[in-house]
Amino acid sequence: MLEQLESLYGQGLAELEALTDSASLHEWHIRYLGKKGELTLLLRNMGGIPKEDRPSFGKRANEVKEALTAAHLERTAQVEEQELATDLQEGQIDITLPGRQQKVGGLHPSTRTFRDLFRIWGEMGFQIYRSRDVEDDETNFTLLNMPPHHPARDMQDTFYTTEPNIIMRTHTSPGQIRAMRELGENGTRPIRVILPGMCYRFEQITARSEVQFHQMEGLVVGRNIRMSDLKGTIAAFAERMFGVGTGVRFRASYFPFTEPSMEVDIECFLCGGKGCNVCKYSGWLEILGSGMVHPTVLQNGGYDPTQWSGFAFGMGPERITLLKHGIRDIRYFWSNDARFLDQF
Ligand code: DAH
């Protein structure tokens, strides 16, 4: 058996010398030193040796094992170095090839419209006030002069939650109440804010209406705020947003939280008011609702309506974006289709 051991040793070393790649080195290791390798098998059969010879055989076997292990390590290091050198030689890359263009992400069209709005209203001295998406019925309706059973509630089909009286806001107007109460210091301080945010309505989803959409509200409260302030502010905004010389038109309307109330049309920014298919050949686009803050609403915000007055307005950024880019279907906005988003 000792002879067998010595010949195994010699053979192993010789084979190792001839190996030139790491795959066969790995195989060699399994064959000689693995759990079912030849050396292991030999040691397992030690029972066949006379008792008195076993210690010296075991000693030699361990020496052989260590020697083979060391030789394997050394050869592996040599081969790996050689392989690396070959790789570097053969794998040279052509650094003159033009690189592959990385695709850069873009901003959602609504985000872009909001950024324009924030910049313009910011320049005009308005602060952003973020109000909550989840509202209570009272703030969303009652405090805005829409008590229970008010018919105007019908215009805003509501998502109710499992909590009593807790709803998803149907418009950004409840933020008016929160802004007045939080910033007004019990009706002693003037306010000039915009209130952007998502609104939710339980509606049939069609090309023209979605269950979620953005609104951007504006609110000004002060002493001697008059309708001319509202008109001048909206006219200045229209010129900044849609171009110098853009005309505005006010039409009498009704909202429970303003008195008087007006709808605002701006001159069609696509045809300059001449008439096109976007403005349905009228030359005008309906862009926002507005009015003088109703005395009841001022009072609910903590202000004395005999001393304070204000104006408010609300617009839909998606509508502006739709018109601007000729997008025919509002469902594109929240469907996350990259083919749509990539265009912006
Ligand atoms: N909250 C109204 C809506 O969702 C929009 C609106 C109209 C807001 C007139 C206002 C306003 O602040 O003065 O239809």
CATH topology of domain 109-341: BirA Bifunctional Protein; domain 2 (3.30.930)
Q: Whose CA is nearest to atom 12 of ligand 1?
A: 313
Q: Go through 287-317 and write b for each residue having 16 or more CB atoms within 10 A of its CB, e for each that does not.
A: bbbbbbbbbebbbbbbbebeebbbbbbbbbb
Q: Whose CA is nearest to atom 4 of ligand 1?
A: 171
The three-state secondary structure class of 168 is: strand
Ligand 1 mutation target, pool 121, 199, 217, most atoms within 8 A of CB: 217
Please give the share of the chain, as a percent, with pLDDT higher than 90: 61
Q: Could you tell me the two tokens for 176?
A: 């008016």
CA 42 to chain centre: 65
Atom of ligand 1 nearest to the CA of 170: 4
Domain ranges of the chain: 2-90, 109-341
Q: What is the pLDDT of residues 222-253, one digit of tens each?
A: 999 999 999 999 999 999 999 999 999 999 99
Atom of ligand 1 nearest to the CA of 315: 5
Ligand 1 centroid from CA 290, angstroms: 6
User: Which of 24-28, 103-107, 136-140, 224-228 is predicted with the least confidence, judged by mean pLDDT?
Assistant: 103-107
Q: Determine the pLDDT at residue 97.
A: 87
Ligand 1 centroid from CA 311, angstroms: 11
Ligand 1 centroid from CA 314, angstroms: 4
Ligand 1 centroid from CA 273, angstroms: 25
Q: What is the pLDDT of residues 122-145, one digit of tens each?
A: 999 999 999 999 999 999 999 999
Q: Is the pLDDT of residue 191 over 90?
A: yes
Atom of ligand 1 nearest to the CA of 199: 4
Q: Is the pLDDT of residue 92 over 80?
A: no
The Cα 31–Cα 120 span in angstroms is: 77
